[in-house]
Amino acid sequence: MSAPDGNGPRSWWARAARPAPAAVPATVAARAAAGTALPLVLGLALGRIDLGVFAALGAVHATLVDRVEPARLRVPRMAAALLASALGMLVGTALQPGRVPLPAAAAALTAVALVSGALSATGPRGSAAGMLLLVSAALGGGMAAPHPWWAAAAMMPAGAATVVLLGLPARRRPHTDPRAVALAAAYDALGGLLAALGTPAGPDARRLLTARIDRVQDLLPTPRPGQPEPARLRDWRRGSLAVLAVTETAGALLWARRPVPPQVAAVPGLIARALTGDGPPPDHPVWQPDTPALRALDAALRTAVDLAAGRDAVPATAPAPPPPDPWRLRGRLLSAGSLRYGLRVALCIAAAGAATARLPLERAYWVPMTVAFVLKPDLGSVFVRAVSRIAGTLLGVLAAAGLLAVVHAPWALALAAAACVALLPYAAAAHYGLNTLVMTPLALALIQLGGRSGAAEAGPRVLDTLLAGGIVLVLGYLLWPERAPHRIEPRLAAGAEALRAYLAAVLAPRPVPVAEVWLRRVAYRALADVRREVQQGLAEPPPAGRHAAQWLPATAALERLSGAVAAYSAQLRYGGRRPEPAEAARVFAALDRLAEAAAAHRPPTGAVPGPTGPHDPARSALVRAADELDLLLR
């Protein structure tokens, strides 16, 4: 794992404004534009632009959840989110004024918000479905419904189907399959990590590799016991296990600041070229590893080379877990965390309903819709999203004013809306404020196509966004115990417990390799969660940002400890070292103290100097780790 990196003197607002690197394939942007333009053009041609607008809205929602992945994964995931979107639109149009009393409609939308928030907290797929459920319900309750009223809900899946169908691949060569491309990208990142070992760039390279491995694991379906797999899928799965095995051995070298020869660091890149058909598989690297950690890396790398060459080999890591229990989603949906988040969203939606009922807002649906977007739980800090939404809307209104001043013809507006949707995949990946900047002119262009003046709607959209942002900042952030300190500390305690279990598996009298691998992976994942929460907290203003910065040394210490435990495991396996119960007891005690400090909201104040050179392989990795923890907790 990594040490502290670019967390230095940048202020919180600079962190919040900084866009993330985003690489979006042109095919995603092209099908987003085509999927939006087609229903609008058909609507104009048939004289039913009201239906075309709702079909285009379905295409926009499909674009928000679109990914480059195999159809067997892409279609079910998108279908679940779009079903929630259509259901929300059906509920929203059924609750329009004139069909039900206003108090009943507000209560029903609050109930939808409760379900949406609980569903959003179950994971990435639930987050997308929950957000679209609430967004569509808010839109359906305020937009002018076509005749018959249920046609809006019916047209949304029709428009979304265009995006889904455009993404279905024709016969593609194995080398261009998204799984092969993602696996090659993971090997490229692995080569970058090996080249960065012993340098300050190592931690950043490790995080890039982690993200790419996560992408590979997302694309590979869970194997079904007793069901044979196609040979190509089996090869990709073995390749993913091989890159995991090399990554797990490289973690020890990253901690030890020990570099590898250039010819060794180049091997993963050559494997990547072979996976994409751009070169032959490499040969085994010729070198003389002289430490336990380097010998562990050599063994894992040889296995990866053998698999790339089509030779039979078994990666020294654990296979994927069994399929999840079908009742797992139900349990997560009804868990305390999901229900708490559902109540948080419901409270903000109820406040939005009360405010819009008392204020003369022409498009009151914009307020709850904005609340739904801002409170999506996997998009980062609520504070940053609320502020970014306001800033993005202001800039988006200016962009829309310029657009609507020069574009008047319906056909040109349809093309402009399609162009905005084409930018959405990149904007959504880069920054939430940029995403809002693109969404605002898109929404105003659709309003103009629907027969109303988009330019006249620009000013009210700013006021609606300011109102929604204020509601979220007060009721969804300031008054809610889910701010950065409360998110960081439970995750840090969980990370300490996961590391404890991993070290216990390494020290077991009869170690079970599969159990050790899975506990190591659980620990790495837990520490990645801690790092993500700290990074989000650093982007918030004081005191939240200052409190997150106080936990940064402890986070870095746990990340270093994970590498130390991996190095110690290699010392036991390849170096002939005997277990050291006394030093292990020191580490266990330090982890317990760290967890207690997290429970007491008391960040440790000790300073741990970073290593200045490679770790001496003759010295126990566990002893150095125990010394570092003692310095942190003194």
Length of the chain: 634
List for the chain the helix, strand, coil content (%; round to 5). Answer: 70, 0, 30
Overall pTM > 0.75 = yes
Q: Could you tell me if 515 and 493 lie in one domain?
A: yes
The answer to whether residue 16 sits within a structural domain is: no
Average pLDDT over every residue of 309-332: 61
What one-character DSSP code corresponds to residue 100? B
Q: Which of 528, 589, 530, 424 is nearest to 35 (CA)?
A: 424
pLDDT digits (tens, 9 = 90+) for 493-514: 999 999 999 999 888 877 666 6
Q: Is the pLDDT of residue 224 over 70?
A: no
**pLDDT at res. 42:** 93
- 362-388 burial: b if 16+ Cβ within 10 Å, else e: ebbbbbbbbbbbbbbbebbbbbbbbbb
Q: State which of 456, 478, 500 marks the end of a domain.
A: 478
Q: Which of 287, 263, 247, 205 is nearest to 5 (CA)?
A: 205
Q: Which of 385, 381, 392 is nearest to 423 (CA)?
A: 392
Q: Could you tell me if 184 and 274 lie in one domain?
A: yes
Q: In angstroms, what CA-CA distances link 304 with 187, 218, 314, 521, 546?
A: 10, 20, 9, 19, 44
The answer to whether residue 243 sits within a structural domain is: yes
Q: Is the pLDDT of residue 80 over 50?
A: yes
**pLDDT at res. 223:** 66
| Strand partners of residue 100 | 97
Contacts of 309 (CB under 8 A, 6+ apart): 281
**pLDDT at res. 500:** 93
Q: Could you tell me if 583 and 497 lie in one domain?
A: yes
- 36-75 burial: b if 16+ Cβ within 10 Å, else e: bbbbbbbbbeeebbbbbbbbbbbbbbbbbbbbbbbeebbe
Q: State which of 449, 478, 507 marks the end of a domain.
A: 478
Q: Could you tell me if 291 and 339 lie in one domain?
A: no
CB-based contact 338:118 (threshold 8 Å): yes
**Domain count of the chain?**
3
The answer to whether residue 4 sits within a structural domain is: no
Here the tokens at position 229 are: 């797999």
Q: Which of 520, 522, 521, 533 is nearest to 492 (CA)?
A: 533
Q: Could you tell me if 492 and 622 lie in one domain?
A: yes
Q: In angstroms, what CA-CA distances link 455 with 98, 407, 570?
A: 28, 11, 66
Q: Is the pLDDT of residue 378 over 70?
A: no
The answer to whether residue 93 sits within a structural domain is: yes
CB-based contact 560:203 (threshold 8 Å): no
**pLDDT at res. 170:** 59
Q: How high is the mean pLDDT of the chain?
A: 84
The answer to whether residue 7 sits within a structural domain is: no
Higher pLDDT, 358 or 595: 595
pLDDT digits (tens, 9 = 90+) for 280-294: 888 888 899 989 999
pLDDT band at 324 (very low <50, low <70, confident <90, very high): very low
End-to-end CA separation in angstroms for the chain:
23
Here the tokens at position 573 are: 């396996």
Q: At what angle do helices 71-94 and 49-64 cross, to 10 degrees?
A: 130
Quote the domain boundaries for residue 81.
Answer: 22-169+326-478
Q: Could you tell me if 39 and 100 lie in one domain?
A: yes
pLDDT band at 2 (very low <50, low <70, confident <90, very high): very low
Q: Could you tell me if 473 and 491 lie in one domain?
A: no
Higher pLDDT, 458 or 146: 146
Q: Could you tell me if 28 and 137 lie in one domain?
A: yes
Three-class secondary structure of residue 580 per DSSP: coil
Q: State which of 280, 308, 336 marks the end of a domain.
A: 308
Q: Count CB atoms within 10 A of the CB of residue 175.
A: 13
The one-letter amino acid code at 25 reads P
Q: Could you tell me if 269 and 413 lie in one domain?
A: no
What span, in angstroms and rounded, lies between the C-alpha atoms of 463 and 453?
A: 17
Q: Could you tell me if 507 and 554 lie in one domain?
A: yes
The one-letter amino acid code at 256 reads A
Q: Is the pLDDT of residue 244 over 90?
A: no
Q: Could you tell me if 190 and 71 lie in one domain?
A: no
The answer to whether residue 11 sits within a structural domain is: no
Average pLDDT over every residue of 422-451: 85
**pLDDT at res. 5:** 44
Higher pLDDT, 135 or 461: 135
CB-based contact 285:214 (threshold 8 Å): no
CB-based contact 492:530 (threshold 8 Å): yes
Q: Which of the listed ranges 162-171, 207-216, 317-326 does the model predict with the highest average pLDDT?
A: 207-216
List, as one string, the DSSP characters of 425-437.
HHHHHH-HHHHHH
Average pLDDT over every residue of 125-138: 86
| Strand partners of residue 553 | none
Q: Is the pLDDT of residue 596 over 90?
A: yes
451: region left, alpha or beta (phi > 0 left; psi from -120 to 50 alpha): left
Q: Which of the listed ranges 175-189, 587-601, 605-619 does the model predict with the highest average pLDDT?
A: 587-601
Q: Could you tell me if 149 and 216 lie in one domain?
A: no
What span, in angstroms and rounded, lies between the C-alpha atoms of 449 and 470?
A: 30
**pLDDT at res. 302:** 92
**pLDDT at res. 6:** 42
Q: Is the pLDDT of residue 540 over 90?
A: no
The answer to whether residue 13 sits within a structural domain is: no
The answer to whether residue 313 sits within a structural domain is: no
Residue 324 preceded by cis peptide, ω within 30 = no
Q: Is the pLDDT of residue 445 over 80?
A: yes
